[in-house]
């Protein structure tokens, strides 16, 4: 449906990382642990959403000092 969506998203990650660095805030590249569904090339399925949650959990724990 959205041809090239996955590729376009991959190109955005370093741009967002640079903006986050410039603003002095954190950045997490969800594309490093998840892929879009082949159904439309944009949305995530349950497994990939879970992958993001699992990858972010330890980061958030450190930020919240848990």
Tell me how far apart the alpha carbons of residues 51 and 53 are, in angstroms, rounded to a whole number: 5
38 contacts 47 by C-beta, under 8 angstroms: no
Backbone angles phi, psi at 36, to 5 degrees: -70, 160
Domains of the chain, residue spans: 5-63
Tell me how far apart the alpha carbons of residues 60 and 26 are, in angstroms, rounded to a whole number: 11
52 contacts 34 by C-beta, under 8 angstroms: yes
Q: Would you write out the chain's pLDDT as a tens digit for each of its 66 residues?
A: 567 766 777 889 999 999 999 999 999 999 999 999 888 888 999 999 999 999 999 999 998 997
Give this prediction's pTM: 0.79
65 alpha-carbon distance from chain centroid? 22
């Amino acid at each position: 449906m959205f041809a090239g969506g996955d590729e376009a998203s991959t190109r955005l990650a370093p741009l967002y990382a640079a903006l986050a660095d410039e603003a002095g805030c954190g950045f997490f590249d969800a594309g490093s642990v998840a892929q879009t569904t082949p159904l439309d090339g944009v949305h995530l399925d349950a497994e990939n959403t879970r992958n993001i949650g699992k990858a972010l959990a330890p980061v958030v724990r450190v930020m919240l000092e848990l």
